[in-house]
Structure 1
Amino acid sequence: MKTYSAKLSDIQRAWHVVDAEGVPLGRLASEVAQLIRGKHKPMFTPHMDTGDHVIVINAEKVKLTGKKLEQKKHFSHSGYPGGIKLISYDVLIEKKPAFVIKKAVKGMLPHNRLGRVMIKKLKVYAGSDHKHQAQNPKIYKLKYVKGEVSDSQ
């Protein structure tokens, strides 16, 4: 038996549209990261980018469970003394909803040059409109749907 390793000529990338309305942030990010990484394909090879492009719409309607909306903070530092900035997620989702989803997905991808290439295949939009109609994206139904886990996959 030989281990299959994908070649660049074998990789075919599809486009998926994911609706984030009412879906918890972590569950959304984990499924989107699997699509971007290519783990849903039988030809998955860990050292290659075999994943698909993902368009996330309705980013402003993503859900955070429990008290995370008020208690969870985004930390950044300017590099200067006293340059710490802490922003709670309720303010962050209001101001930059696309950043919240990109940050969550990026944390679930490899932290190397391969992960930096993969994150470029993620497009996030606050509303329900996107500009990728020419790629004929397919609607991807998440495994987690509005409070219950579906058995579609």
Structure 2
Amino acid sequence: MEPRQVRCPHCGRANRVPAAGEGRPACGDCHHPLPWIADAGDDDFTEVAERSSLLVVVDLWARWCGPCRMVGPVLEKLAERFAGRMKLVKVDIDSAPRISRRFEVQAVPTLLLLDRGRVVSRHAGAVPEPVLREWIEQGIGAASSGSPP
């Protein structure tokens, strides 16, 4: 669980963001919310994804998957847009077979929305940015109100 280097979209300062932790990451200089993007695997998924107080978008992907390589940067862009309101957790299914089996991944990418560790929504396959943005917005709204998206 290595911290990820993240550049603040507001002031440009480089910050180290841990994969797991309490609260929401913020820039050390300007205190604006930072995108929270973390990698997880079989051994640390619970700590990184399921214990988060923020809505978590789980990207179950594979290195050999062309659509995954298209969706990954879109998700990172959306993590920046929704900084402080969501966390993006990327799971390479080839390196995390238990997670892949647990979530019954049959196609990649498979995207999950987790609210306090519970799957509240799921997408399989590549979808365009506007669809992903709306899906995440609905998830954030539902997580705030306590109802499923």
Question: Does TM, scored on the shorter chain, surpass 0.5?
Answer: no
* Structure showing greater Rg: 1
TM-score, structure 2 normalization: 0.29
Which has the larger share of strand? Answer: 2
TM-score, structure 1 normalization: 0.28
Higher relative contact order (Cα pairs below 8 Å, separated by 6+ residues): 1
